[in-house]
Amino acid sequence: MSTSLSPLLAPMLSSAAMRAVCDDRATLQGMLDFEAALARAEAAVGIIPAAGAEAIAKECKSNTFDIAALAEAATRSGNLAIPLVKALTSEVARTNKDAARYVHWGATSQDVIDTATMLTLRAGIDALLVDIDRAIAGFAKLAQQHRNTAVVARTWLQHALPMPFGLKLAEYAASLHRSRGRLKHLRQHALALQFGGAAGTLAALGDQGLKVAERLSELLQLPLPEAPWHSHRDRIAEAASVFAIIAGTCGKIARDVQLMMQTDVAEAFEPSGEGRGGSSTMPHKRNPVAAASALGAATMAPNLAATIFAAQVGDHERSAGPWHAEWPTLPSLLLVTSGALAAIVDIAEGLEVDAARMRTNLDATGGLIMAEAVAFALAEKVGKQDAHHLVEAASKKAVTEKKTLRAVLENDATVTAHLSKEKIAQLFEPMAYQGVSQALIDRLLASLKDR
């Protein structure tokens, strides 16, 4: 486990909180926390002396270890736990040679590394939950503020129908809330202690293995699984899938904001600030920097998750290779997911909305965006197919003659025979044609309360 991102680029693609969680020192401390808890658990069961356990725990401080030296030694041993246990044993021996005999008693390298991974995941999930709550609250507030703000709904990047902007925002909040539920489920059900000894049987501890495991589980506050899971990586894969979903949701929101910030659209904007979104050569630019960060992270996340999925295919009770692939990949996935979410928090808490421009864009097609509304009103009089053909012909005429659709319809005797000019005028009010949008907004916002 490591930050796996360049210190130069990490701030653009990850949150400060997640960088702290995935820092090499934090990872090392997680491994040492396992060793300290193991010694205390074994002392509690009577396998090693209590004084020896405390002597071991006293030396389990990551700041006393040389990370570079451990990393170099790991290239020869095949994993970081082996040189760390040797170094810890040496540190303990300096003050208590008898206690040094009991370092890492009955455990194996994978116990140390996998349990440290679980501790990292727990801290990472907690960091994501803080930000996802902020993003949900931000979009929920905006949804209420703009539930009666009309905006163009776009399909295939073309004007389709009018919709309340609040519905779009409520959908953002609800999609993030669903992932909040996934994170909570992960924290409760996917995290688990890994403690199995050399081959998952805890043979070195005789008939005391489960007692030690139970006490170790309590000390680390990690659930005790039915059996060691070292050769089955579904827990890690499930976490990766959730992180990739969150990154994808953030990417979708970022893409919408990026498109709304286009000069030709200009409906909504990221928060502005000194030096934010500028260009190295064009003084007038206001680039979507938060959206770009979220999209960059969302682009990376699926491939990182795919590596975790591939790493499930291991051999027998200890896999050489696939397990190693998890070490840099999982923290990288945590980091980019945090970066995507942090960018979306920034947007959710500071989105600037131009309702006037939204209205201007609704009128940009000369009323064509209301064609469906007219067609269905007319269908009640002449049938759906005939109404569709009438409005389609009127739409083409409006484009060809550069007139508004309303003007063409008001001068079409076939149409006015069934719809008065007053009725036609009503049909061209965008917020009069929103279906059950307001009820949908209420339903989406209500779903956020299910915590």
Per-residue model confidence as pLDDT tens digits over 170-191: 999 999 999 999 999 999 999 9
pLDDT score of 272 more than 80: no
pLDDT score of 325 more than 50: yes
318 a catalytic residue: yes
Q: What is the Cα gyration radius of the chain?
A: 30
pLDDT on residue 283 = 54
pLDDT on residue 287 = 84
Catalytic site residue from 318, 357, 359, 447: 318
| Amino acid in position 432 | A
| Amino acid in position 193 | L
Closest CA to 34 of 187, 215, 186: 215
Q: What percent of the chain has pLDDT over 70?
A: 96
Closest CA to 84 of 126, 29, 13: 29
Closest CA to 294 of 234, 353, 341: 341
pLDDT on residue 329 = 96
Phi, psi for residue 253 in degrees, rounded to 5: -65, -45
Cα–Cα distances in angstroms (integers) from residue 30 to residues 25, 47, 65, 85, 209, in the given order: 9, 23, 13, 13, 22
| pTM score, whole prediction | 0.93
> Model confidence over 90-104: pLDDT tens digits?
999 999 999 999 999
Is residue 415 packed enough to be buried (19+ CB in 10 Å), middle (13-18) or exposed (0-12)?
A: buried
pLDDT score of 374 more than 50: yes
Q: Tokens 């064009």, residue?
A: 282
Catalytic site residue from 90, 272, 279, 420: 279
Q: What gap in Å lies between CA 28 and CA 65, rounded to an integer?
A: 9
Element (H, E) at 131: helix 109-145
Residue 241 · residue 233 · CB < 8 Å: no
Pick the more confident residue, 280 or 25.
25
Residue 10 pLDDT class (50, 70, 90 cuts): confident
pLDDT score of 365 more than 50: yes
437 a catalytic residue: no
pLDDT on residue 277 = 52
Phi, psi for residue 150 in degrees, rounded to 5: -80, 140
Q: What is the mean pLDDT of the chain?
A: 94
Q: Which two three-digit tokens encode residue 309?
A: 């999925």
Contacting residues for 187 by C-beta, under 8 A, at least 6 apart: 122, 125, 126, 129
Greatest alpha-carbon pair distance for the chain in Å reads: 103
